[in-house]
Amino acid sequence: MRSTTRRRRHFALVGILAGAMLLTTVPSSAAGTGAGGPGLGDPYFPDDGNSGYDVADYDVRVAYDPDHPDHLTGDTTVTATATARLDRFHLDLEGFEVDSVTIDGTPARSFSRSGAHELLITPARRIAKGAKFAVRVRYSGKPVGKSWHRLPDGAANVTGEPHSATAWYPANDHPSDKATLRLTATVPEAWTVIGNGRPGRTTSSGHGQKTYRWYEDKPLATYVSTIAIDKFTVHTSKLADGTPVVNAYSPGTVIDPQAEALLPEIIDFLASKFGPYPFSSAGFIVVNGDPAAPRGGAALETQSRPTYIGGAVFDSSLVHEYTHQWFGNSVSFTDWRDGCLAECVAQYANQLWDEKSGADLDTGFYPGMIEQSRQDPDFWSVKLYDPGAGRELHSALYFKGSMMMHALRRTIGDAAFFGTLRQWQREHRYGNASWPQFEALAKKVSARPDLSAFFDAWVHGTTVPEDKYLYPGSLGALAPANSR
């Protein structure tokens, strides 16, 4: 995600993260009791997600009337495979009254709420390890949580990180458990629903309501799922290969034909660097922000269709959020320590886009960032991998991170640098991977096992890298005279 302003410089903070081995293995203590436990043990958010099962699909059905914004009705089926014997298990859901829970059509023996977001479910019959099962949860009430955004005139939008899904449907809320998503949403006829993935059939009830359907057929991390409900102006088109493009604008936002025309070029450019575009649809959603919020806005890489809140769409933010479709969405991180896998690359993509237009990154971007670092005594103080709990969105991932990517490129050369990015996508497409795996791949592709020292200085260090790592290759011309 990135904040948007009317400046085109790419040094501004862009927030919100976008991982290798699934963390759905049940802890040994839970395995002994037949209980899937709350929390997957993420180092930063230990209560996020749940152990004991692996989700394959979410079938989310909601009904919402903007004239009654304090009430949403939901009916979600979670299809999963047990990774342990389950006498009970958890789902994550904020707020709402849970009306009923069934497993494979049979009512649960019991269900109850625990903590801020846990729904504890005891099935009527034990679920065997390896068994596929479907949990249907019916719920209703007032949407709560920081990611449910009330927009002007009763409109609504769900975006947020690290949590957003639990504000509107029950989920295994951790990026390591990715799943496909089907959305069916019923609203009054004057309103429109936009979601992830490709649009399906829209039907009218004949009683003043319409039902919209959206299908994300590639696995997604729960925090990049979205729903937006407004009186949208919707523009549709196709990419050259026939991929549908859906762009939606809330009333009062700027309709931007230039951004729409630029999007296919940006996707083609990024595909030339990273590999084929990974999803079956594209586009963006532009929604009004909170009128009381500061000027400007924010953006989030909601899968296949980034969301822009309270601001216009600019080429830099399109490049950034669309880079996340590869880095963060198609290949997601393993846990929240891995944010550099998404943000360091996405921010550097802005520099690549500038370079395409003729910018010299060695003489423009890089020395500009060196000068910025001199003005900020804390510039180098945060690690890029494992920056610390509460700092997973730290500006270091954008400022220091984009510098690191350029220094890595100058250290190993263009062939190895872009070869690493493309191979990363091929090896982990639609899955999860970790930053240590990225380091290992860069060493392998570049045939440079000595890169450990580079990564120690840039990624794991908290001080200015030595000049040999700060000014590698063609950047050596920038080094102070006494260090050459």
Q: What is the DSSP letter of 363?
A: T
Helix (H, G, I), strand (E, B) or coil at 165: helix
Virtual CA dihedral for 34, 38, 39, 45, nearest 10 degrees?
-170
Assigned token pair, 190: 């004057």
pLDDT digits (tens, 9 = 90+) for 240-275: 999 999 999 999 898 899 999 999 999 999 999 999
Helix axes of 435-446 and 451-458: crossing angle, nearest 10 degrees: 140
Which of 144, 159, 135, 155 lies closest to 225, judged by CA? Answer: 159
Q: What angle do CA 133, 173, 104 make, to 5 degrees?
A: 15
Indicate if the pLDDT at residue 19 is higher than 70: no
List, for residues 37-75, the tens digit of each pLDDT value.
788 999 999 999 999 999 999 999 999 999 999 999 999
86-103: average pLDDT: 97
Question: What's the confidence (pLDDT) of residue 418?
Answer: 98
Structure tokens at 45: 């958010």
Contact call for residues 231 and 251 (beta carbons, < 8 A): yes
Given a cut of 90, is residue 464 above it in pLDDT? yes
Residue 203: strand pairing partners: 211
Cis peptide upstream of residue 162 (ω within 30 degrees of 0): yes
Confidence of residue 25 (pLDDT cuts 50, 70, 90): very low
**Domain residue extents for the chain:** 332-483
Span 72-81, pLDDT tens digits: 999 999 999 9
Q: Which CATH number fits domain 332-483: 2.60.40.740, 1.10.390.10, 1.10.3720.10, 1.20.140.160?
A: 1.10.390.10
Q: Which tokens hold the place of 35?
A: 């209980």
Distance CA 397, CA 347 (A): 8
Give the C-alpha separation, 90 to 49, whole Å: 9
C-beta of residue 160 within 8 angstroms of C-beta of residue 152: no
C-alpha count within 13 angstroms, C-beta hemisphere, residue 118: 20
Closest CA to 93 of 73, 116, 121: 116
- Please tell me the predicted confidence (pLDDT) of residue 291: 47
**Across the chain, what does the average pLDDT equal?**
90
CA distance 415 to 412: 8
| DSSP H or E segment with residue 125 | none
Q: How many helices (H) and strands (E) are present in the chain, helices listed first?
A: 10, 24
pLDDT surpassing 60 at residue 311: yes
Tell me how many degrees the CA angle 286-291-293 measures, rounded to the nearest 5: 95
pLDDT of the residue at 20: 31
CA quadruple 479, 355, 398, 463: dihedral, nearest 10: -10
d(CA 467, CA 324): 31
- pTM of the predicted protein model: 0.91
In one letter, which amino acid is 351?
A: Q
Which residue did the predictor score with more confidence, 482 or 56? 56
Whether residue 8 has pLDDT greater than 70: no
Q: How far apart are CA 439 and CA 437, in angstroms?
A: 5
What's the pLDDT tens digit per position in 169-197? 999 999 999 999 999 999 999 999 999 99
Instruction: Please write down the HEC assignment for all residues of 448-483.
Output: CCCHHHHHHHHCCCCCCCCHHHHCCHHHHHHCCHHH
Tokens of 447: 């045939």
Residue 75, token pair as written in the block: 């009916």
- Residue linked to tokens 């370079």: 355
Q: Identify any residues that bridge with 58 across adjacent strands, giving them in sequence order.
A: 78, 181
